[in-house]
């Protein structure tokens, strides 16, 4: 029987079927951090059990960490307690931790791929919704709740109901200045934040396969913003070359054997999806959000639509925007380039290429936060830090930072931040903060101009 890529991976990980149409699924790799693991470890202590597969459990500190002076004690009391608790639990349960100061520390969805832990054909989970990032490698990866974190720690398995399959095909060539972030913001704007609920998405088409691995990660990262359980992309030569030589990836003949296995991970030509959608890359322009969910997005040349719902009006009131208004020319006060969506070395290189020889607006504060210690180190080795410094941009230390208001990097109430992160909910970047999601290129251009601009005007 013909199978989709998702079916092939899922079926290979079924331990057994149980009542109610559910299945016990084996999990290859489990990432944990300081936010969702404390309650799970507490439950295990209460039951007197340990971590079942320590070598397949990977811990790092990311959400609550400061991005300045990481060698000093964390100042924010709650953040310090969260990180200290992770340290204590990992020590007690024998789980290796990439904590502050460790050369492998970073955002969990950045370090997995860069270390080669993330590989095609795997099942991967974390107590974080953006675990879908790892699906860019042809893996089934998704976020889980705290009780499920405890299940995986103690059994390396989960009881799940198989989601439906959806294929989204994006064909054609992207315009200059349009990136993978624009692709996913465009898709979310068309499908809505609940448009893929109940589905696991496979992305396909020439616009997807032409992307680098880091760009593909951005696409899969925000699958959850459409309501999907996760997203994945079939592995290909781009995938194999990215993984070659990475720490957790076999070398020599063993790598060739792995590639031979990975080449079988593709949707069969006659496989049937529960739903299929097709889009043209030509229709995608640089995107910005105007509201308080990621589905409220428009092309930079478009005006904010008009809707009568109370929630829509409430969202615009929070953002202090009006229907018909265009965001091009909108004055901003902050730029945040980072998060598990856009904090990899390619993102930083793209920004550095754009801002080299330019200086930011004096009225804008710019934070560039690398996704890991390895990204930070590579940026410095390539001299990107000097370019940022000359432009007036601040390169900080790794962490989730201003993606969410769980650490010291918050946006002041009432001020606008154009952000490369994944969510623009009310208060997401701090109480009263107004978030506009965009690509790294759009964010960089806004930093230079002090307002939102169409980056294509600088590139053509």
What would the pLDDT profile of 66-84 be if each residue is shown by its tens digit?
Answer: 999 999 999 999 999 999 9
Nearest Cα to 31, choosing from 95, 119, 114?
A: 95
According to the model, what pLDDT value does residue 147 have?
A: 95
Six-digit token string for 428: 């997401």
Give CA–CA dist 238/221, Å, rounded. 18
Q: Which residue has the tokens 């300045």?
A: 68
Q: Give whole-number Cα distances, 372 to 9, 148, 347, in Å.
A: 29, 26, 13
Six-digit token string for 20: 């109610």
CB within 8 Å of 386: residues ≥ 6 apart: none
Q: Residue count of the chain, please give it.
A: 460
Q: Is there a contact between 18 and 161 (Cβ–Cβ < 8 Å)? A: no
Nearest Cα to 370, choosing from 358, 391, 354, 352?
A: 352
Instruction: Give the H/E segment covering residue 222.
Output: none
According to the model, what pLDDT value does residue 207 have?
A: 98
- CA atoms 453, 458, 459, 460: torsion sign: positive
Question: Can you spell out the DSSP letters for 238-287?
Answer: HHHHHHTT-TTS--THHHHHHHHHHTT-S--TT---SEEEEEEGGG---E
CB within 8 Å of 1: residues ≥ 6 apart: none
- The pLDDT profile of the chain, 460 residues, written as one tens digit per residue, is 899 999 999 999 999 999 889 999 999 999 999 999 999 999 999 999 999 999 999 999 999 999 999 999 999 999 999 999 999 999 999 999 999 999 999 999 999 999 999 999 999 999 999 999 999 999 999 999 999 999 999 999 999 999 999 999 999 999 999 999 999 999 999 999 999 999 999 999 999 999 999 999 999 999 999 999 999 999 999 999 999 999 999 999 999 999 999 999 999 999 999 999 999 999 999 999 999 999 999 999 999 999 999 999 999 999 999 999 999 999 999 999 999 999 999 999 999 999 999 999 999 999 999 999 999 999 999 999 999 999 999 999 999 999 999 999 999 999 999 999 999 999 999 999 999 999 999 999 999 999 999 999 999 7
- CA atoms 186, 188, 192, 195: torsion sign: positive
Nearest Cα to 459, choosing from 338, 308, 300?
A: 300
Domains recognised in the chain with CATH numbers: 5-161 (3.30.499.10), 164-283 (3.40.1060.10), 306-459 (3.30.499.10)
pTM of the model: 0.97
Q: What is the pLDDT of residues 377-433, one digit of tens each?
A: 999 999 999 999 999 999 999 999 999 999 999 999 999 999 999 999 999 999 999
According to the model, what pLDDT value does residue 159 have?
A: 97
**Cα within 13 Å of Cα(166), Cβ side:** 19
Nearest Cα to 342, choosing from 243, 207, 416, 439?
A: 439
């Amino acid at each position: 029987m013909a199978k989709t890529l998702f079916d092939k991976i899922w079926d290979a990980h079924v331990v057994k079927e149980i009542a109610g149409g559910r299945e016990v699924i084996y999990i290859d790799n489990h990432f944990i951090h300081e936010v969702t693991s404390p309650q799970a470890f507490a439950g295990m202590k209460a039951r007197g059990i340990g971590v079942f597969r320590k070598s397949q459990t990977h811990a790092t500190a990311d959400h609550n960490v400061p991005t300045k002076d990481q060698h000093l004690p964390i100042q924010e009391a709650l953040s310090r307690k969260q990180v200290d608790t992770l340290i204590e639990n990992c020590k007690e349960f024998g789980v290796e931790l990439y904590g502050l100061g460790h050369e492998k520390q970073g955002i969990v969805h950045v370090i997995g791929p860069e270390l080669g832990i993330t590989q095609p054909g795997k099942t991967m989970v974390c107590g974080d919704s953006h675990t879908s990032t790892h699906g860019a490698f042809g893996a089934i990866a998704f976020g889980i709740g705290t009780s499920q974190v405890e299940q995986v720690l103690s059994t390396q398995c989960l009881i799940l109901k198989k989601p439906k399959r959806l294929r989204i095909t994006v064909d054609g060539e992207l315009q200059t200045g349009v990136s993978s972030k624009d692709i996913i913001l465009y898709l979310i704007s068309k499908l809505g934040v609940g448009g893929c609920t109940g589905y696991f998405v496979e992305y396909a088409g020439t616009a997807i396969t032409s992307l680098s691995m880091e760009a593909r990660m951005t696409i899969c990262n925000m699958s959850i913003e459409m309501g999907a359980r996760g997203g994945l992309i079939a592995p290909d030569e781009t995938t194999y070359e990215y993984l070659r030589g990475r720490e957790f990836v076999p070398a020599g003949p063993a790598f060739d054997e792995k590639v031979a296995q990975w080449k079988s991970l593709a949707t069969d030509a006659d496989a049937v999806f529960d739903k299929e959608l097709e889009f043209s890359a030509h229709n995608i322009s640089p995107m910005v959000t105007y509201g308080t969910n990621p589905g409220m997005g428009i092309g930079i040349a478009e005006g904010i639509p008009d809707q009568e719902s109370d929630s829509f009006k409430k969202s615009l009131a929070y953002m202090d925007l009006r229907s018909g208004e265009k965001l091009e020319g909108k004055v901003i006060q902050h730029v945040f380039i980072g998060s598990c969506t856009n904090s990899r070395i390619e993102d930083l290189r793209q920004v550095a290429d754009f801002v080299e020889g330019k200086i930011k607006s004096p009225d804008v504060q710019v934070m560039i936060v690398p996704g890991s210690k390895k990204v930070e180190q590579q940026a410095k080795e390539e001299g990107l830090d000097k370019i940022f410094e000359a432009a007036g941009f601040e390169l900080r230390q790794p962490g989730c930072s201003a993606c969410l208001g769980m650490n010291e990097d918050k946006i002041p109430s009432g001020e606008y931040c154009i952000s490369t992160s994944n969510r623009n909910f009310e208060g997401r970047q701090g109480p009263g903060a107004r978030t506009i999601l965009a690509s790294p290129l759009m964010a960089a251009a806004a930093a230079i101009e002090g307002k939102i601009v169409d980056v294509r005007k600088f590139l053509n």
